């Protein structure tokens, strides 16, 4: 009877240990396997190829969790600003005809330095840095 | 393979190792190690639990190192990445954060159980000192690790903490500069704290743990004086149980309980990500450090800004310093010159300290 | 008039900080006409007698010692922007600030005019404020057309007709403690302007003879513009002067109301102009935006304005008419998007409270809210298809974010299941350990009789 009991304890303990250790090792094994997207978002975001941007056009680019307005103001001139209007946080857009950054909500306008030209916005737009590496356009935060 | 043959194979394997590693002497030593059995035996588990949680920290810490990036531009994002994209990243990270807290709690319980069960007495003074050094290291681990996620609360907690270091007289500003890696808390601080957290502190901790454990093996596990008296008076000895396998199996149960608690905490109360630190934003209202720093934090808040001609904060820090020093020297003033134990003083001091820490931590949390 | 004077020598109470450009009627200059202040002032400036002419100002000295209404100007004048630029009492009232006795100081021969008649006040102010050559010395960009504007305003016209009750410069700008418009204590600072206008325009007794309503301020205080101005401190929010003008204050003509609103709400005005309502309202001589939104008490718009008991469309259209159906249709689409976004928000909120990381989806939801705003704006086209376009985009976002939230909740459930599995395994192991201990020891822990410590 003692042997049977020992056997039962052995199975219980063995089974429990295997199951518990398994429940510890399974997540660890999964953890060390790199995920599909192996990089975390960083200080810099790729915005595409330079040739895809017409001169005097603007595009909203996702920078981490914030929208950024990338403007190609000239053949080799690029500007990028936070696309969040400083008045009531609507998303701004680039107006090609007037060469201004415009907020549709209350007609706020910023110039190509991010400064407020007219309307209710109280502060200028934060500027971002645009760099070209070969054909690729990169937007990054100011140092 | 029939069981008899299996057993023989196992024995041959063990013998092979024994010849090379000298396992036999270790086994011989362990077989004689015993643990006193009495009403306070429960408290003997806490040292092992602290050690176990430290091992959990090392393991989960190494896993986190596979993905963490220690720069202001990437730290928060890499932690977010671990929490959202890496498989079971949320589990490893939450366990690491919760286990840190549980380890410090276990260390405090272990320390107070040593005080109330009087295990600091001669010849265990060095064990006490190394243990207190380890507690200090654990708090250092907590403080340095707290900054690594680089969220708002980390940033400001570090700012407040290093500001307090700066108010130490004479060496303060130099100390603060050393901690911060510069004048302000920034990328240099993060690099430095990362280095402390994963290299310097672990190195020191490993050494001290080895010393602490070696001393415990050498002196054995102490029994409280009133238990000893009860048995030696009648000419006997305090009942003991063999460490291996009896105490060890029980210790395993304690460790498994800790694992169960950690699992529940990680799955049901995952550690939050917070908002990325913005050094230019103002400190959020109600900023406060982790619970293990709450008591001194709240005390400092209560001290008026100037007491007589001294700066309040300075007075507070001096007070803590003196209190810590006095506490560290406990084994040396716990016995008077004639060798008589100052039992009531020690018990009183222990009770007061527990009450102070518990009350002020609670107040610091509520206010 | 005899008054007890307290002769004080030395500096005037306001000190020597400002350049003292006062007119000193020199002895023997009686040939100057009382109205010759301006040339004298210019002469003084030309002579460049600035700080050298120390601040002897007998007006302030004497009046500070008087009581009530005669004392007040002397006490507050140091706060006046004119005082800070070196002007003094004599620059408006004339007289001699160096003379200590009243007959000398208030001598008509030395230009003393006394208290100006109410209807001459605008001209008095305009003497300087319409003179560009003069104003340029203090602020080159300062406007000089206020008086010209004022003369076209209702207030100006009534004053010219002899109505003493209409507003003049001092009613809005105060008189002896005039502050710059940017100064928050100025009665014409954007945050205080509505109350200043209301002093007369909300006073039923004062306005009785003009037969215009006095509820504008009360209505304005219920409006979303006042909320932006007074509670959020948004100085760009409109108040009385933004729509009515300040110096040229006149009610806007019906045809120009939409232009006024459109100066901020450009999108809506643009869409409205292209819509059917523009011509229809114009032909009925109705004031554009105010037909639906009101003028002073503009509230936060909502779908309740389109359909339901509080609908503004009801003013012209029956609920079961074709137009009424269009309005109800647009309201329904917008309400659907709103509900959809709210349900996404609820799911994400639940996931977040359960400890799941859903910050990216929460951010995406912002796009959905933007679509909702666009849909509401699109109602001005009166075209359900335009509204539909915006709501479709929003509904897609709502669906995507709700899916993300539901995935997060599924993941949460998976984690809890995993936890239960691990806990069961741990419990089994603990049970096994306990039984093993019991089987090794029997009922009680063993006591080793010997043992090295």
C14 and C105, same domain (yes or no)? yes
C5 — pLDDT class (breaks 50, 70, 90): very low
Tell me what the mean pLDDT of segment C25-35 comes to. 44
* pLDDT value at residue C110: 86
Considering CB atoms only, which of C264, C421, C433 is closest to A107?
Answer: C264
Query: What token pair was written down for C380?
Result: 């001005």
Let me know if residue C363 belongs to a domain: yes
Same domain flag for B212 and B328: no
Q: What angle do CA A82, A84, A90 make, to 5 degrees?
A: 155
Its sign, for the CA torsion B220, B226, B227, B233, is positive
Residue B137, SS3 per DSSP: helix
Q: What is the pLDDT of residue C424?
A: 93
Residue-wise pLDDT for B7-37, tens only, equals 888 888 888 888 898 888 888 888 888 888 8
**Mean pLDDT of all residues in B337-364:** 89
C439 touches chain A (CB under 8 A): yes
| B68 and B155 inside one domain | yes
Three-state DSSP state, C107: coil
Q: How many distinct structural domains can be found in chain C?
A: 3
Instruction: Identify the chains in contact with C, defined as 3+ C-beta pairs within 8 A.
Output: A, B
Beta-sheet pairing, A44-49 with A136-140: antiparallel
C169 plus C69 within the same structural domain: no
Domain check: are C96 and C165 in the same one? no
B74–A43: do the CB atoms touch at under 8 Å?
yes
In a domain, residue C357? The reply is yes
Domain boundary among B220, B252, B283: B283
Chains contacting A (3+ CB pairs below 8 angstroms): B, C
Q: Report if residue C58 sits inside a domain.
A: yes
Which residue of chain B comes nearest to C408, CA vs CA? Answer: B84
Give how far A10 is from chain B: nearest CA, Å: 14
Q: Say if residue C103 is in the same domain as residue C169.
A: no
Residue that has been written with the tokens 């359900």 in this structure: C384
pLDDT tens figures, B214-226 = 999 899 899 988 8
> Are A30 and B88 within 8 A, CB to CB?
yes
Distance, in Å, from the CA atom of B197 to the CA atom of B204, rounded to the nearest integer, reads 11
| Domain count for chain B | 2
Residue C394 within any structural domain of the chain: yes
Residue B110: name the closest of B131, B81, B94, B89 by CA.
Answer: B131
B266 plus B347 within the same structural domain: no
pLDDT of residue C200: 93
Q: What does the pLDDT read at residue A102?
A: 93
Looking at the fold, whether C40 and C107 belong to one and the same domain comes out as: yes
Of B282-286, C284-288, C336-340, the range with the lowest mean pLDDT is: B282-286
What is the CB neighbour count within 10 angstroms for residue B361? Answer: 18
Average pLDDT over residues C44-63: 65
| pLDDT score of C25 more than 50 | no
SS (H, E, C) A19-68: HHHHHHHHHHHHHHCCCCCCCCCCCEEEEEEHHHCCCCEEEEEEECCEEE
Same domain flag for B242 and B260:
yes
- Residue B1 in tokens: 């393979």
Residue C447 has a pLDDT of: 61
Q: Do B77 and A30 touch (CB under 8 A)?
A: no
Q: Is the pLDDT of residue B131 over 90?
A: yes
- Give chain B's mean pLDDT: 90
Q: Give the position of tokens 């376009």.
A: C389
Based on the number of CB atoms within 10 Å of its own CB, is B99 exposed (0-12), middle (13-18) or buried (19 or more)?
Answer: buried
Degrees to nearest 5, angle at CA A35 with A33 and A38: 115
- Same domain for C425 and C360, yes or no, is yes
CA-CA distances (angstroms) from residue C5 to B313, C58, C59, C62, C107? 59, 10, 11, 6, 16
Mutate to test the interface with A, among B58, B85, B279 (most CBs of A within 10 A): B85
pLDDT mean over B107-119: 94
Cα three-residue angle A19-A20-A22, rounded to 5 degrees: 65
- The lowest-confidence range among B231-235, B350-354, C220-224 is B231-235
* CATH code at position C407: 1.20.140
- Between A and B, how many residue pairs show a Cβ–Cβ distance under 8 A? 45
CA distance to partner chain A, nearest, from residue C375 (Å): 13
Residue where a domain terminates, one of C249, C265, C287: C249
Q: What is the model's pLDDT at position C444? A: 62
pLDDT for C403 beyond 50: yes
Q: Is C325 part of a structural domain of the chain?
A: no
Are B73 and B142 in a shared domain? Answer: yes
Residue C111's SS3 state is coil
C429–A90: do the CB atoms touch at under 8 Å? no
Looking at B268, B283, B298, the residue that finishes a domain is: B283
Residue in A105, A108, A109, A119 to test binding to C, most C beta-carbons within 10 Å: A105
Residue numbers of C between 408 and 427 with CB closer than 8 Å to B:
415-416, 418-419, 422-423, 426-427
The mean per-residue pLDDT over the stretch B165-188 comes to 88
**Contact: C424, A19; criterion CB under 8 Å:** yes
Residue C208 and residue C99 share a domain: no
How confident is the model at residue A40, as a pLDDT? 59
Residue C239 counted as domain residue:
yes
Residue C24 has pLDDT above 50, yes or no: no
pLDDT for res C453: 40
Judgement on whether residues B271 and B301 belong to the same structural domain of the protein: no
Q: Are residues B263 and B308 in the same domain?
A: no
Q: Phi first, then psi: what are they for C443, rounded to 5°?
A: -80, -25
DSSP state of C120: G
Position B219 in a domain: yes
Cα distance between residue C238 and residue A119, in whole Å: 11
Using pLDDT thresholds of 50, 70 and 90, give the confidence band for residue C38: low
pLDDT for C42: 57
User: C-chain residues within 8 Å CB-CB of B249?
Assistant: 433, 436-437, 440
Same structural domain, B138 and B230? yes
What is the pLDDT, as a whole number, of residue C224?
Answer: 93
CATH no. for residue B73?
Answer: 1.20.810.10
In a domain, B26, yes or no: no
Contacts of C429 in chain A (CB under 8 A): 13, 16-17, 19-20
Write down the mean pLDDT value for chain C.
83
Q: DSSP per residue over C26-61, as a string?
A: -TT-TTS-TT-HHHHHHHHHHTT--TTS----HHHH
In the predicted model, what is the mean pLDDT of residues A108-114?
93
Q: Does the distance separating the beta carbons of B34 and C448 come in below 8 Å?
A: yes
Q: What is the ipTM of this complex?
A: 0.82
Instruction: Round to whole Å and give the CA distance between C332 and C330.
Output: 5
Burial (0-12, 13-18, 19+ Cβ within 10 Å), B249: middle
Tell me whether residue B249 is in a domain: yes
Percent over 70 (pLDDT), chain B: 99
Does A19 sit within 8 Å of C428, measured CB to CB? Answer: yes
Q: Please identify, among B283, B309, B331, the residue that sits at the C-terminal boundary of a domain.
A: B283
Domain boundary among C100, C115, C130: C115
What CATH architecture does domain A44-140 belong to?
3-layer Sandwich (2.102)
B197: phi then psi, degrees, rounded to nearest 5: -70, -40
C428 with A20: Cβ contact below 8 A: yes
- Give the tens place of pLDDT for each residue, A41-83: 567 888 888 888 999 999 988 887 788 999 998 888 999 999 9
Mean pLDDT of chain A: 87
The answer to whether C233 contacts chain A (CB < 8 Å) is no
Q: Does C85 touch chain B (CB under 8 A)?
A: no
- Nearest-angstrom CA–CA distance, C254 and B317: 73
Contact (CB<8Å) B73/A43: yes
Confidence band of B169 (pLDDT split at 50, 70, 90) = confident
User: In this predicted model, what pLDDT tens digit does every residue of B51-100 receive, in sequence order?
Assistant: 999 999 999 999 999 999 999 888 998 998 999 889 899 999 999 999 99
* Average pLDDT score over residue span B275-294: 82
Same domain? For C100 and C18 the reply is yes
Digit-coded pLDDT (tens) for C425-448: 999 999 999 998 888 887 665 565
Are residues C176 and C215 located together in one domain of the fold? Answer: yes
Q: Which long-range contacts (CB under 8 A, 24 or more apart) does C395-400 make?
A: C395/C336, C395/C337, C395/C340, C397/C341, C397/C364, C397/C365, C397/C367, C397/C368, C397/C371, C398/C337, C398/C340, C398/C341, C398/C343, C398/C344, C398/C365, C398/C368, C399/C340, C399/C344, C400/C361, C400/C364
User: How many other CB atoms are there within 10 angstroms of residue B187's CB atom?
Assistant: 15
pTM (2 decimals)?
A: 0.71
What residue numbers bound the domain in which B246 lies? 40-283
Cα–Cα distance for residue pair A58/A78, rounded to 1 Å: 10
Q: Which residue has tokens 């500027």? A: A127
**pLDDT at residue number B143:** 94
CB-CB contact of C57 with C14 (8 Å):
yes
In angstroms, the Cα distances linking C266 to A113, A126, B167, C254, C263 are: 23, 24, 57, 18, 6
**pLDDT for the residue numbered C45:** 54
What pLDDT is stored for residue B61 in this prediction? 97
Minimum Cα–Cα distance from A43: chain B residue: B73
CA gap C5, C61 in Å, rounded? 9
- The helix (run of H) or strand (run of E) holding residue B172 is helix B172-180
Return the pLDDT at A109. Answer: 93
CB-defined contacts B:C, below 8 A: 74
Where in chain A are the domains? 1-33, 44-140
- Residue A90 with chain C: CB contacts under 8 Å: 370, 373
Q: Which residue has the higher pLDDT, B79 or B281?
A: B79
In the structure, what pLDDT confidence band is assigned to residue C132 with cuts at 50, 70 and 90?
very high
B238 and B348 both lie in a single domain: no
Contact C398, C413 (CB under 8 A): no
Full domain range(s) for residue C355: 331-441
Distance CA B286, CA C11 (A): 53
Among candidate residues C193, C180, C174, the one with its CA nearest the CA of residue C72: C174
What is the model's pLDDT at position C49?
47
- Residue where one domain finishes, among candidates C217, C249, C281: C249
Kindly list the residues from chain C whose CB atom is less than 8 angstroms away from the CB atom of residue B42: none
Q: How close B43 comes to chain A (CA, Å)?
A: 25
- Does B80 sit within 8 Å of C426, measured CB to CB? no
Rounded CA-CA distance A9/C439 in Å is 9
User: Is the same domain home to C110 and C150?
Assistant: no
Q: Which of A24-38, C12-26, C65-79, C278-292 has the lowest mean pLDDT?
A: C12-26
Interface of C with B in 326-355 (CB under 8 A): 355
Which C residues 153-212 touch A at CB under 8 Å?
none
Q: Is the peptide bond before C373 cis (omega within 30 degrees of 0)?
A: no
CA dihedral C391, C395, C397, C399 (to 10 degrees): 180
């Amino acid at each position: 009877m003692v042997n049977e009991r020992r056997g039962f304890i052995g199975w219980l303990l063995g089974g429990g240990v295997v199951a518990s250790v398994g429940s510890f090792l399974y997540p660890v094994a999964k953890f060390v396997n790199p995920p599909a997207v192996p990089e975390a978002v960083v200080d810099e975001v790729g915005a595409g190829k330079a040739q895809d941007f017409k001169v005097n056009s603007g595009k909203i680019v996702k920078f981490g969790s914030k929208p950024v307005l990338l403007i190609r103001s000239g053949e080799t001139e690029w500007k990028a600003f936070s696309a969040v209007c400083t008045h009531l946080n609507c998303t701004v857009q680039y107006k090609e005809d007037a060469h201004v950054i415009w907020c549709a909500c209350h007609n706020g306008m910023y110039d190509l330095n991010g400064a407020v030209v007219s309307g209710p916005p109280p502060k200028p737009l934060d500027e971002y840095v645009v760099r070209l590496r070969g054909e690729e356009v990169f937007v990054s935060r100011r140092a | 393979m029939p069981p008899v043959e299996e057993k023989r194979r196992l024995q041959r394997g063990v013998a092979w190792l024994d010849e090379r590693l000298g396992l036999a002497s270790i086994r011989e030593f362990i077989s004689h190690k015993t643990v006193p059995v009495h009403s306070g035996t429960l408290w003997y588990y806490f040292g092992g639990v602290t050690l176990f949680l430290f091992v959990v920290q090392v393991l989960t810490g190494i896993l986190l190192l596979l993905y963490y990036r220690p720069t202001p531009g990437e730290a928060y994002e890499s932690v977010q990445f671990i929490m959202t994209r890496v498989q079971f990243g949320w589990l490893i990270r939450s366990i690491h954060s919760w286990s840190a807290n549980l380890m410090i709690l276990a260390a405090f319980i272990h320390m107070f159980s040593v005080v109330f069960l009087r295990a600091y007495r001669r010849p265990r003074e060095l064990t006490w000192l190394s243990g207190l050094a380890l507690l200090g290291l654990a708090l250092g681990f907590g403080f340095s690790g707290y900054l690594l996620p680089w969220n708002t609360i980390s940033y400001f907690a570090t700012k407040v903490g290093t500001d307090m270091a700066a108010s130490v007289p004479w060496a303060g500003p130099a100390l603060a500069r050393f901690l911060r890696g510069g004048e302000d808390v920034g990328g240099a601080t993060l690099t430095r704290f990362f280095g402390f957290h994963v290299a310097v502190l672990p190195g020191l901790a490993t050494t001290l743990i080895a010393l602490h454990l070696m001393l415990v093996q050498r002196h054995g596990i102490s029994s409280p004086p009133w238990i000893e008296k009860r048995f030696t008076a009648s000419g006997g000895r305090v009942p003991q149980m063999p460490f291996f396998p009896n105490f060890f199996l029980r210790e395993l149960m304690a460790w498994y309980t800790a694992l169960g608690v950690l699992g529940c905490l990680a799955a049901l109360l995952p550690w939050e990500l917070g908002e990325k630190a913005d050094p230019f934003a103002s400190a959020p209202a109600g900023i406060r450090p982790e619970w293990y720093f709450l008591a001194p934090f709240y005390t400092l808040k209560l001290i008026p800004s100037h007491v007589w001609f001294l700066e309040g904060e300075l007075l507070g820090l001096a007070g803590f310093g003196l209190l810590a020093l006095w506490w560290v020297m406990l084994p040396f003033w716990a016995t008077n010159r004639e060798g008589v134990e100052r039992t009531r003083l020690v018990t009183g001091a222990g009770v007061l300290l527990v009450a102070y820490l518990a009350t002020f931590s609670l107040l610091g949390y509520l206010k | 008039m005899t008054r007890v004077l307290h002769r004080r020598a030395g500096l005037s109470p306001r000190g020597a900080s400002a350049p003292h450009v006062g007119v000193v009627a020199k002895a023997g200059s009686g040939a100057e006409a009382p109205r010759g202040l301006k040339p004298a002032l210019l002469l003084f400036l030309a002579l460049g007698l600035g700080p050298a002419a120390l601040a002897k100002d007998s007006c302030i000295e004497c009046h500070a010692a008087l009581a009530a209404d005669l004392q007040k100007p002397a006490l507050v004048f140091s706060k006046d922007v004119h005082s800070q630029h070196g002007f003094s009492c004599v620059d408006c009232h004339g007289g001699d600030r160096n003379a200590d006795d009243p007959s000398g100081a208030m001598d008509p021969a030395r230009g003393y005019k006394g208290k100006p008649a109410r209807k001459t006040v605008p001209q008095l102010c305009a003497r300087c404020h319409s003179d560009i050559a003069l104003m340029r010395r203090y602020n080159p960009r300062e406007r000089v057309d206020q008086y010209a504007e004022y003369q076209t305003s209702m207030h100006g016209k009534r004053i010219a007709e002899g109505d003493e009750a209409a507003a003049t410069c001092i009613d809005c700008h105060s008189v002896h403690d005039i502050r710059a418009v940017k100064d928050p204590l100025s009665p014409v600072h954007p945050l205080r302007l509505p109350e200043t206008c209301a002093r007369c325009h909300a006073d039923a007794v004062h306005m009785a003879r003009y037969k215009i309503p006095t509820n504008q301020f009360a209505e304005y205080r219920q409006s979303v513009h006042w909320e932006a101005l007074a509670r959020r401190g948004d100085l760009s929010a409109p108040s009385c002067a933004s729509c009515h003008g300040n110096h040229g204050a006149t009610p806007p003509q019906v045809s120009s109301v939409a232009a006024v609103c459109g100066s901020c709400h450009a999108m809506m005005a643009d869409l409205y102009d292209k819509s059917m309502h523009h011509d229809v309202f114009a032909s009925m001589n109705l004031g554009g935006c105010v037909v639906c939104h009101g003028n002073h008490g503009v509230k936060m718009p909502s779908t309740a304005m389109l359909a339901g008991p509080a609908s503004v469309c009801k003013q012209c259209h029956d609920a079961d008419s074709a137009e009424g159906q269009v309005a109800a249709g647009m309201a329904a689409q917008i309400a659907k998007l709103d509900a959809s976004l709210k349900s996404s928000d609820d799911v994400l909120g639940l996931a977040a409270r359960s400890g799941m990381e859903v910050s990216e989806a929460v951010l995406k939801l912002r796009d959905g809210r933007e679509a909702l705003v666009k849909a509401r704006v699109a109602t001005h086209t009166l075209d359900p298809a335009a509204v539909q376009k915006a709501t479709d985009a929003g509904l897609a976002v709502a669906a995507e974010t709700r899916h993300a939230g539901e995935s997060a909740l599924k993941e949460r459930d998976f984690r809890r299941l995993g936890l239960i599995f691990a806990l069961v395994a741990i419990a089994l192991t603990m049970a096994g350990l306990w039984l093993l201990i019991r089987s090794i020891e029997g009922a009680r822990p063993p006591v080793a009789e010997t043992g090295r410590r």
